Amino acid sequence: MSLSKFVDELPIPPILKPLWKDHFYSYYEVRMTEFKQSLHSELDDSTVWGYEGSYPGPTIQVESGEIVFIKWINHLPDRHLFPIDYTVHGAHMDLPEVRTVVHVHGACVESDSDGYPEAWFTRDFIQVGRYFKKQVYRYDNCDCASTLWYHDHTLGITRLNVYAGLAGFYLISDQNEHLFNLPSGKYDVPLMIQDKSFNHDGSLFYPNQPDKPIKELQTSILPEFVGDTIVVNGKVHPYFNVEPRKYRFRLLNASNTRFFRFTLDSGQLMYQIATEGGFMQHPIGINELMLSPAERAEVIIDFTNLEGKSIILKNDAPAPFPDGNAVDENTGTIMQFRVTLPLSNIDTSMIPGYMMSIPKINERSVSMERYLTLNHEMDQYGREIMLLDNKHWDAPISENPKLGSTEIWYLINLTPDAHPIHLHLIDFQIVDRRNFDVEKYKKERIIHYTGPAITPKPQENGWKDTVQSNPNQVTRIIMKFGPFTGLYVWHCHMLEHEDYEMMRPYIVIQ
């Protein structure tokens, strides 16, 4: 379906107010409901799921070090918007069709409040998963200023719940950030970018069979899902009116599978100031920005002296990445900036020359190196199934880092896809990537490197919680585990992969 571009204005998600706030803590209640929302003025309203009656959900803004309690409340109906595949782990016939659990992605958080995939709950907590511990989650917000997001994380149906609309921004501020004099207030704009497909009645389309249907299965997990339309903050190809001044944009790829490589059609530079884990050492001017699903980046775009101009944010990443279909006029266009508003006051905001020191984690402090494969197999029905270290979700836990220890993980990609690998609880640094002989590894389990180590791209130099692990490469990441112990997960953030076994529990031990 081809919809007119740039006819609807970009919505900005509202800021959620706490029910209670004092010097010691803040308390929120957040309801998940089903409602109708206009995603494009040429479509009938779409039935979506969201937090507090909006898709995306409202933005939660907190300070670093602030203790925040959130009661996530499931008020969704009993029937799902999309067909469930009961052959997928954690999505069996004896479980309720609609169940949710919320993960604040990138949070430094105690295990019981992390949104473990089997800690799900139904409406009014009538039924709960076997790892459900508490109704009210606690967030210590021990991260520095950063752009996080919250989304559903239920075992076996994450792809369906997030696609239905269960996602929102969670922003952490700190004292440092206030000193930088960055664009702020209405000039600080979060952009949640996703791909969707629509039925002619305006409802969201999600396929119930792969391209090659499985006759004996009514619904079937897809290897990947890519939509044919781009949606920003819940609007298809919106426009955004801006003043001729600097703006800070928080870019989030919240798609199920699609990678984005962003450029501006004006050819001007964007100035990247942050990765997922917070500010970079200094801003970098970039022509293009690659974000795999769940990755974030903050950029400043300067519209000074561009009065009357229109600038289009473009995408040219194939889907699935890197060898999928090229973009078309719909998937190659994200949104439009229109420099039409008068300057409301003199722009005194800055692009700082230096932001913070990010010392490299010393490889000599590493107490454990783990060699972990990304595998592509076939299941009993001839469907693609992706695994981590060739293990299924229910296999015994094999990654058990000690609290306070530093480890390097070698992500050995044996598949034809690039995978965004996400670890809960901690931020890491990318050490390097290196080409290797995949066939030799499959036969002999020996890593034979075929080229020199490739340092991370300048856009990745900073604290990360999601890394693009490319085919035919070993990607090395280094991290220190803490400050909490307990049960967490690591997984591919392509949601169709995550839902079909490409996720593993890990435990931080005392």
Residue pLDDT, tens place only, 321-369: 999 999 999 999 999 999 999 999 999 999 999 999 999 999 999 999 9
pLDDT of residue 391: 98
pLDDT of residue 238: 98
pLDDT of residue 1: 73
Global pTM reads 0.97
Task: Give 179: exposed, middle or buried? Use CB within 10 Å, 0-12, 13-18, 19+.
Answer: exposed
pLDDT of residue 215: 82
Helices marked H in 28-119: none
- Which residue numbers in the chain have pLDDT < 50? none
pLDDT of residue 283: 98
CB-CB contact of 254 with 193 (8 Å) = yes
Tell me the pLDDT of the chain averaged across its residues.
97
pLDDT of residue 213: 85
pLDDT of residue 406: 98
pLDDT of residue 379: 92
DSSP per-residue codes, 67-93: EEEEEEEE---SS-SS---TTSTT--T
% of the chain beyond a pLDDT of 90: 96
pLDDT of residue 211: 83
CB-CB contact of 436 with 447 (8 Å) = yes
Residue pLDDT, tens place only, 190-242: 999 999 999 999 999 999 888 888 888 888 899 999 999 999 999 999 999 99
